[in-house]
Amino acid sequence: MTGPFDFALRLGDDALIAAQRLGEWTSRAPEMEEDIALANIALDQLGAARLLLTYAGELEGAGRDEDALAYLRDDREFRNCLLVELPNGDFAITMAKLFFLSAYQLPLYTALAGCADERLAAIGAKARKESAYHLDHSSLWVKRLGDGTEESHRRMQAAVDEVWPYTHELFTADPAAPVDPATLRADFDATVSAVLSEATLIRPAHGWTPGGGRDGVHTEHLSYLLAEMQVLHRAHPGAQW
């Protein structure tokens, strides 16, 4: 089912939508250092998205470049996981999302770096270094908030509870993909368990497992996100920027 095009598109969409959400934090972070960090991570995600979408466009061979793929598809054509499109919420929600995303992206890009497709391997090799930094940064915040004050502990646990169900979609088996997401689960679980336990947080039980992002069936949030992201590009068809 899954050709390299679909695979590159999914990963590119994950990174693009994550970047868009992180970019919303600009000038709103709890401290100036964090403003820089969040913009930095957004920029990394956007960089990976551009490489992946450019490659996806080439694989498709229909003349679509990164901008055509980012700006001229509707939400039903986007293939990102639901996790990245969820609203930023408070800082704890944002950190929970970033923590789960980077705990998934690090083993994913690491595996990709060793795959047979040279372009994907090169992208994986570059992106995994950035993911390691994202994971480090978000882990530290999960620990600070989890093991900080009573208030921050309450918020961090609530964030983990709210976001956790959306992690299951990341590991839907796809043996035909260049990297089968199902093989990443153990690595992800080990990372998450260690950090949550150090943060004095409880990992929620498995239960509700929302999904559909990979098939273009999204939450109600994505369409608004795209409306904002695409508005100017769509208002000037064919223009150069």
Contact with other proteins (CB under 8 A): which of 70, 82, 103, 192?
70
67 contributes a contact to other proteins by CB under 8 A: yes
Contact with other proteins (CB under 8 A): which of 2, 40, 183, 223?
40
Provide, rounded to whole angstroms, the least separation between the CB of residue 23 and other proteins.
5
Indicate the residue among 97 and 155 with the shorter CB distance to other proteins. 155
- Long-range pairs for 206-212 at CB < 8 Å and ≥24 separation? 206/168, 207/165, 208/165, 209/165, 209/168, 209/169, 210/82, 210/165, 210/166, 210/168, 210/169, 211/82, 211/168, 211/169, 211/172, 212/82, 212/169
Cβ atoms 25, 88 nearer than 8 A: yes
Indicate the residue among 71 and 171 with the shorter CB distance to other proteins. 71
Indicate the residue among 41 and 179 with the shorter CB distance to other proteins. 41
Indicate the residue among 72 and 217 with the shorter CB distance to other proteins. 72
Indicate the residue among 23 and 204 with the shorter CB distance to other proteins. 23
Provide, rounded to whole angstroms, the least separation between the CB of residue 128 and other proteins.
17
Contact with other proteins (CB under 8 A): which of 53, 59, 111, 112?
53
Distance, in Å, from the CA atom of 99 to the CA atom of 134, rounded to the nearest integer, reads 8
Provide, rounded to whole angstroms, the least separation between the CB of residue 156 and other proteins.
8
Burial 100-122 (b: 16+ CB within 10 A, else e): bbbbbbbbbbbbbbebebebbbe
31 contributes a contact to other proteins by CB under 8 A: yes
Matching residue, tokens 């800082």: 91
Provide, rounded to whole angstroms, the least separation between the CB of residue 68 and other proteins.
10
Contact stretch for other proteins (CB under 8 A) within 75-83, 111-119, 146-154, 190-198: 146-154
Draw the binding track, 91-110, toward other proteins (x: CB under 8 A; -: no contact).
x-------------------
What is the DSSP secondary structure assignment for residue 172, as one 8-state letter? -
Cβ atoms 70, 53 nearer than 8 A: yes
Roughly what angle, to the nearest 10 degrees, separates helices 221-235 and 4-23? 90
